[in-house]
């Protein structure tokens, strides 16, 4: 068999399970996952390399109607990922719409997929939450629409049917040598994932607008000889009042954040770390082009 390689963009509404699916397909926790929508803010690359193929998965932010600049940037990442895709994985959450009608006529999805430029595989996710009969009916319903190259029910959480999905993707990939060395799992640096892990813990530990107003920057990441590496990270919020909330009474909230983040970072990094967190105010950063650029919200093309 000729070696196949190409790009598979995972797109869908917020919270559909895109990042969970990416992690499940590459067999490693790479992209952060929370129960809150809008967890993912840019494109996350996850590379699956086998002898006969290499699939470069692109996890993307959930499709939404942008209300501020950050959300506009998030949608740019979706468009950019679609333009790179050899195959599109459109993922829907069974909970969102059990009769299947509304979701796919969803205006937002249409806007992105009217002219996909690549075959689309429809993935019906969270199948573990419904009975088999309902699942079969859903698959039949979408198959009858004749819009998709395949319709596959999966559970990104349990891994159910992920092999079928991988084969369906391979059916749509061109013969091509590998793009990356097989031991490379992502094109991002480790410090990016460390920042993402801290962001994940902010999503888990804080409520209301706090997760959405927070960004994390790794200011220093020092690999050291001793038992612990050193990481200094800044948590950026939009207003002074939010800084107070992140820190909490007597610093208790930020201490909890630090502990949760440290444990998760150590698991990812494979070595103990000394994590120092600083909380800073970056006035209205979500609407500030320059600040967002500093935080890395720019497409590879628009580097200047």
Ligand X SMILES: Nc1nc2c(ncn2[C@@H]2O[C@H](COP(=O)(O)OP(=O)(O)OP(=O)(O)O)[C@@H](O)[C@H]2O)c(=O)[nH]1
Kindly write out the interface string for residues 46-65 of this chain, putting x where it contacts ligand X by CB under 6 A and - elsewhere.
---------------xx---
For strands 4-12 and 150-153, give the pairing: unpaired
Among the residue ranges 16-24, 144-152, 242-250, 271-279, the one whose residues contact Mg ion (CB under 5 A): 16-24
Question: Are the C-beta atoms of 58 and 8 separated by less than 8 Å?
Answer: yes
d(CA 30, CA 65): 26
Instruction: Count how many Cα atoms sit within 13 Å of the Cα of residue 197 in the half-sphere of its side chain.
Output: 24
Residue 218 CB neighbour total at 10 angstroms: 17
Please choose, from the candidates 3, 184, 170, the residue with its C-alpha nearest in 3D space to the C-alpha of residue 87. Answer: 170
- Interface with ligand X, residue 39, by CB under 6 A: yes
The minimum distance between CB 157 and ligand X, in angstroms, equals 3
- Interface with ligand X, residue 84, by CB under 6 A: no
d(CA 180, CA 178): 6
Residue 300 tokens, joined = 């590879």
The minimum distance between CB 272 and ligand X, in angstroms, equals 27
- Interface with ligand X, residue 125, by CB under 6 A: yes
The minimum distance between CB 78 and ligand X, in angstroms, equals 10
Site for Mg ion in 29-88 (CB under 5 A): 39-40
In the list 1, 35, 131, 302, the residue contacting ligand X (rule: CB under 6 A) is 35
Site for ligand X in 150-169 (CB under 6 A): 155-157
Out of ligand X, Mg ion, none, which partner does residue 6 contact, by CB within 5 to 8 A per kind? none
Question: Are the C-beta atoms of 63 and 13 separated by less than 8 Å?
Answer: yes
Residue 299 tokens, joined = 């497409």
| Positions in the binding site for ligand X (CB under 6 A) | 12, 14-20, 33-35, 37-40, 61-62, 125-126, 128-129, 155-157
């Amino acid at each position: 068999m000729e070696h196949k390689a190409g790009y598979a963009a995972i797109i869908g509404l917020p919270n559909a399970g895109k990042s969970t699916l990416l992690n499940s397909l590459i067999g490693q926790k790479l992209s952060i996952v929370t129960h809150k929508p809008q967890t993912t803010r840019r494109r996350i690359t996850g590379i699956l390399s086998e002898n006969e193929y290499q699939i470069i998965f692109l996890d993307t932010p959930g499709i939404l109607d942008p209300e501020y600049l950050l959300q506009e940037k998030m949608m740019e990442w979706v468009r950019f990922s679609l333009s790179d895709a050899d195959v599109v994985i459109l993922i829907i959450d069974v909970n969102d719409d059990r009769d299947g009608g509304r979701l796919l006529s969803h205006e937002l999805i249409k806007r992105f997929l009217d002219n996909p430029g690549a075959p689309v595989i429809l993935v019906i996710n969270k199948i573990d939450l419904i009975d088999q009969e309902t699942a079969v009916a859903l698959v039949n319903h979408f198959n009858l629409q004749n819009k998709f190259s395949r319709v596959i029910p999966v559970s990104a959480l349990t891994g159910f049917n992920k092999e079928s999905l991988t084969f369906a993707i391979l059916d749509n990939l061109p013969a091509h040598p590998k793009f990356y060395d097989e031991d490379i799992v992502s094109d991002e640096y480790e410090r990016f994932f460390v920042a993402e892990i801290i962001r994940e813990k902010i999503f888990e530990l804080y409520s209301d607008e706090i997760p959405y107003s927070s960004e994390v920057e790794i200011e220093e990441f020092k690999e050291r000889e001793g038992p612990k590496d050193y990481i200094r990270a800044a948590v950026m919020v939009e207003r002074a009042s939010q800084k107070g909330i992140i820190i909490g009474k007597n610093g208790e909230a930020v201490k909890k954040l630090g502990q949760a983040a440290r444990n998760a970072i150590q698991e990812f990094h494979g070595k103990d770390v000394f994590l120092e967190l600083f909380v800073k105010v970056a006035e209205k950063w979500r609407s500030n082009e320059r600040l967002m650029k500093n935080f890395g919200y720019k497409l590879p093309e628009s580097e200047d």
